Amino acid sequence: MSIVKFIETNQLNLDLIQPLWEKLNEHHRRQKSDFKDHYANFTFQERKKVLLNKARDGDMLICLAEDERSGIFVGYSVTTISSENVGEIDSIYVGGEYRLQGIGNELMKRSLGWMDKKGVNSRKVVVATSNQEAISFYERYGFRRRSINLEKPLDHLKW
């Protein structure tokens, strides 16, 4: 079992998550999904721009999980609060070999605790329907399916 320390920071250190975010994006590309093209063409710079725009209107917490022996970041979460005071877990990832060690649990506890301290009106997370493992993970923390958004993939534009 690894010894992991957790570091809390903000949008000024968003670039630190890039290598892990790219692994998460690759995970999404490998999922059975009609939106593989989206993930294949989605870049960290695009994601960063979206997150920074959200932070401009509200607030952002980045939690990093660092393996103390190697000094390598092995997991992260990004949580934002909108100008409407809605808390959102925007992204969470733990590297494969570090899963099932409680790292994801600690990242969630820190994200939810931060939202509690900030007094958000509601909490949400958006999950790809193909990512059943993530849906089950979030349900363990009380998140429930409220609505289903349908989107037509770009490669299915013709009817």
What's the CATH number for 2-138? 3.40.630.30
pLDDT in tens, 59-92: 999 999 999 999 999 999 999 999 889 999 999 9
pLDDT in tens, 4-48: 999 999 999 999 999 998 888 787 777 665 555 655 666 788 888
| Predicted structure pTM score | 0.84
Domain residue spans of the chain: 2-138
Residue corresponding to tokens 């993930």? 39
**Residue 6, C-beta contacts closer than 8 angstroms, at least 6 positions apart:** 63, 64, 65, 66, 106, 107, 110
Query: Is the CB of residue 11 less than 8 Å from the CB of residue 55?
Result: yes
pLDDT in tens, 86-123: 999 999 999 988 998 999 999 999 999 999 999 999 99
